[in-house]
Structure 1
Amino acid sequence: MVILAPSIPEIQKHIDHYWILNDAGILSLGSPFMYAYPGITPDMIIVLEGHYTMTYMGKTYHSDASRLFSFIHDQVYLDLSALKRCIIVKFKSRGLSSLRPFLRADAQTIMRDSVACLDDVFGVAINNFISYLDTLQAPQVVTALDEWFLKQYNKQAEGFVVAMAQEISSTFDMKTIMDATGYSYSTMERHFKKDTGLTPKRFQSLQRYKLALRELYITRNSDWQHYVVKYGYYDQSHFIKDIKRYTYLTPGQLLKTAAFIKVRPM
């Protein structure tokens, strides 16, 4: 398992890292059965060898296709036991605004086909690029991915409101952001929908739940009041309902399930 960051500044703004997993890396996750939940971190999985089983939105797929998870509307169940080698591209946790500079589609279009095969998104030529990646060592993979993303990069498609809001308030508290910027809620909403496909309220809710869920998995802390205080939930009932809203499981049940958020790089 190798984790390497992009080296080109334009790419660094939108992609956190490339996670290169070989057979040993996948097995070291502890369980090949993984759940993923709605969130604001787009992911791209590039399959180099093997296949996986994915259950999503009531359908099950047995596939060796590389996929882009731009936004997860429902929980995803993944069986990776037959996936030998792959690369996972982790974008910044800013929703579609971290992804859109590399795509030729608006947020609404991306949201409608939010879990898509890479050749549907980028064209069949990407299959030749994936075959090329399969011949490279880890440092060369980073260089190749950087150069490929740079070719897709369109500065004009970069949004500004999510990055700006994140600097003002890590929990995306809308009152704090509006006070600091002088923007009205309707102005914030217009920019958020354009950049992310989500309203500010929905984005804030996902951000809070994502941060709480990550801490829950990493620390195994079952003191629910801690999350209430730290992340601004009304009470424990609100915290539990919000987690269940996105994952269909209570916090206690989540601690008994495997998920990428537990093992993947931060």
Structure 2
Amino acid sequence: MHVQTYIPKAPLSGFVNYFWYFEGYAPPHSKELAMPDGSIELVINLREEKIKLFDREYKNPTRTYGSSVICGPHSEYFIIDTSEETTVLGIHFKPGGMYPFLKMPLNELHNTLVSLEALWGARAHELREKLLESEVVNDKFRILEESLTKLASRPLVRHPAVSFALNEFQSLPHRSPLSDVIGQIGLSHRRFIQIFKEEVGMTPKLFCRLRRFQEVLNRIDRTKNVNWLDVALACGYYDQMHFIKDFQAFSSLNPTEYLSTQVRHPNHVGL
């Protein structure tokens, strides 16, 4: 399998974590559980004209999308079809990073998957055709970077309140109470939540829960012997019961099941 990533230059780097490319990904499992982290993923299948997802019981394909799909800001897990070898290219946006490239509030895409053509029209098809014309991965990244810059429908600037809050939530996801952060912003509670939902795709409270869950996954990554109570307390949970409830809500697994599964990446588990 060939894997390659690229971090775009500013100002895109303020909205995009990285571009990624997978070629020849053929895992032994036919389905893969994707965990939510509140970010948005753009996925372009360069081998087939389809992207297939399964229902939440892991059984039946619910929908086959076109060759490109936007995974909106998720607070729920979803299941990807990995039964066929693929060549895919994508963009892993930072939380709220997709906002300048859409003409709608991001909360309208919460827990949804939408074909890229439905959002960008013919420009989505044109982008894929350009990518297919190039055989060098770095050239594909360059095309993606240039095209994404031109596709911006809003200024590449975050709302100051959202920028401040995201920095606080991601650097101190469990040590800085939500009320303290909002108190430093200078907006009413209701106004701040409205702006945050529009730009990030969910409420600040839900986003903080996801950051706490993600911190758990990062702490236990590649660890075999875990003291779950210590992890729960270190990540800001009041007790182990609340920790397990959140873990199951976001992943469909209990913590012990998660550790026993085949993990390609903290957010991707083979089924």
Aligned to 1:226: 230
Residues 161 and 22 of structure 1: is their aligned pair in 2 closer, same or farther, counting only changes over 3 Å?
Answer: same
- Once the two structures are TM-superposed, the CA of residue 6 in structure 1 deviates from its matched residue by 1.0
- Once the two structures are TM-superposed, the CA of residue 66 in structure 1 deviates from its matched residue by 1.4
Structure 2 stretches lacking a partner, 5+ long:
none
Once the two structures are overlaid, the 10-residue window that deviates more, 101-110 or 49-58, is 49-58
Aligned Cα root-mean-square deviation (Å): 2.6
Aligned to 1:79: 81
Aligned to 1:150: 149
Aligned to 1:216: 220
- Once the two structures are TM-superposed, the CA of residue 181 in structure 1 deviates from its matched residue by 3.5
- Once the two structures are TM-superposed, the CA of residue 2 in structure 1 deviates from its matched residue by 0.9
Match status 1:178 vs 2:182 = yes
Match status 1:101 vs 2:100 = yes
Equivalence map 1:96-175=2 (5 Å): 97-111=96-110, 114-136=112-134, 137-153=136-152, 154-155=154-155, 158-169=158-169, 170=171, 171=173, 173-175=177-179
Structure 2: distance between partners of 1:146 and 1:81: 30
Structure 2: distance between partners of 1:215 and 1:108: 29
Contact 2:218/2:266, CA 8 A, preserved across alignment: yes
- Secondary structure of 2:141's aligned partner: helix
- Once the two structures are TM-superposed, the CA of residue 117 in structure 1 deviates from its matched residue by 0.8
Aligned to 1:238: 242
Contact 1:100/1:157, CA 8 A, preserved across alignment: no
- TM-score with structure 2 setting the length: 0.83
Q: Among 230, 247, 253, which residue is 2:257 paired with?
A: 253
- Once the two structures are TM-superposed, the CA of residue 64 in structure 1 deviates from its matched residue by 5.3
- Once the two structures are TM-superposed, the CA of residue 258 in structure 1 deviates from its matched residue by 4.2
Structure 2: distance between partners of 1:111 and 1:242: 18
Structure 1 stretches lacking a partner, 5+ long:
none
Residues 64 and 120 of structure 1: is their aligned pair in 2 closer, same or farther, counting only changes over 3 Å?
Answer: closer
- Secondary structure of 1:241's aligned partner: helix
Residues 44 and 83 of structure 1: is their aligned pair in 2 closer, same or farther, counting only changes over 3 Å?
Answer: farther
Deviations for 1:60-90, whole angstroms, at most 9, x for unmatched residues?
A: 2345521110123542111223142111211
Aligned to 1:70: 72
Aligned to 2:192: 188
Structure with greater helix share of residues: 1
Match status 1:37 vs 2:35 = yes
Structure 1: distance between partners of 2:30 and 2:160: 37
- Secondary structure of 2:74's aligned partner: coil
Amino acid at match of 1:16: N
Contact 2:21/2:90, CA 8 A, preserved across alignment: yes
Amino acid at match of 1:98: G
Structure 1: distance between partners of 2:146 and 2:83: 31
Structure 2: distance between partners of 1:174 and 1:68: 29
Aligned to 1:49: 47
- TM-score with structure 1 setting the length: 0.84
Structure 2: distance between partners of 1:14 and 1:221: 36
Structure 1: distance between partners of 2:126 and 2:22: 20
- The size of the alignment, in residue pairs, is 256
